Amino acid sequence: MNIKQLSFLILCGAACLVSCTSQSHPALVAETPELSAYEKFVFRSADYPTVMEVYLDDALLERADKKCPIVICLEQQRGRLYVDNQVAADWPVSTGADTHPTPTGAYRVRFKEKEHSSNRYGRMYNAAGKCIDNNADAFTQPVPEGGRFEGSPMPNWMRLTADGVGMHTGKVVAGKRLSHGCIRLPHVVSTMLFDIVEYGTPVIISEEVESNYPVAYIMAHREIEAAEDRAAQAASTAGPEGEL
């Protein structure tokens, strides 16, 4: 099944969901016990995926091992750990800014280090010890005579590519792409993942939502709702027919 076919099926399911209920999201969650804990986590927030909340399924995490795939969804700026094809964890990420985009593709963890510092990006100091650039690039900026370069700390470093893209603790703002290409994680998440991953752990970085995402119908439902709200708003503010 290709992406277009999958999207069509999702939208059809979402349309059916919309036609069968007029309840608000919280009411639907309360009246639909068959929703999983993860589906409720996604559905209860009107702002998901741009939220800082972290979802953890303790029972699934107990079974997590180095073979469990990690998915980084650039569109949503979320990361997910799958155990037995179920979401064991879901968290916000901040990936590469437009000037330093995070590469997409299928990768494997190549190396990990608990305490790591960037050898490229960090702070540049002059001979007097004053910071002259807090976002310096040591590959293109020479260190001033008598000065020094201090690489940015990258705790729980998990390297993915030969040219230095990886996952690590860093500043995360939900929905924002902020980094020089790496995948920044909340510290609690990077600590958890660091203890799970080993050499060879699969990490998929995708611009689109992964095809096996278990609550795709919820996201499609929200897109339809938002479109209906916009249409209703436009209709309520439009002037009489023919009026400019």
Mean pLDDT, residues 30-44: 78
How sure is the predictor about 193, in pLDDT bands with cuts at 50, 70 and 90?
very high
3-116+154-224 CATH fold: L,D-transpeptidase catalytic domain-like (2.40.440)
Among 24-28, 136-140, 160-164, whose mean pLDDT is lowest? 24-28
What is the structure's pLDDT at 27? Answer: 47
pLDDT reading at 117 higher than 80:
yes
Asked if residues 208 and 76 have their Cβ atoms less than 8 Å apart, the reply is no
Residue 215 is given by DSSP the state T
- What strands lie across the sheet with 148-153, from one edge to the other? 131-137, 117-125, 148-153
What is the structure's pLDDT at 112? Answer: 98
What is the structure's pLDDT at 63? Answer: 98
Mean pLDDT, residues 38-48: 89
H/E stretch holding 28 reads helix 25-31
Mean pLDDT, residues 140-164: 95
pLDDT reading at 6 higher than 80:
no
What is the structure's pLDDT at 43? Answer: 86
How sure is the predictor about 33, in pLDDT bands with cuts at 50, 70 and 90?
low
Bridge partners of 23?
A: none
Mean pLDDT, residues 236-240: 63
Dihedral over Cα of 77, 157, 41, 209: its sign: positive
H/E stretch holding 106 reads strand 105-108
Among 8-12, 123-127, 150-154, 187-191, whose mean pLDDT is lowest? 8-12
Rounded to the nearest 10 degrees, the angle between the axes of helix 216-237 and helix 3-20 is 60
What is the structure's pLDDT at 4? Answer: 43
Q: Closest by alpha carbon to 203, among 93, 91, 100, 68?
A: 68
What is the structure's pLDDT at 227? Answer: 75
SS3 60: helix
Average pLDDT of the chain to the nearest whole number? 85
For 82, the token pair is 């799958």
High-pLDDT (> 70) share of the chain, %: 80
What is the structure's pLDDT at 162? Answer: 93
| In the chain, ranges of CATH 2.40.440.10 domains | 3-116+154-224
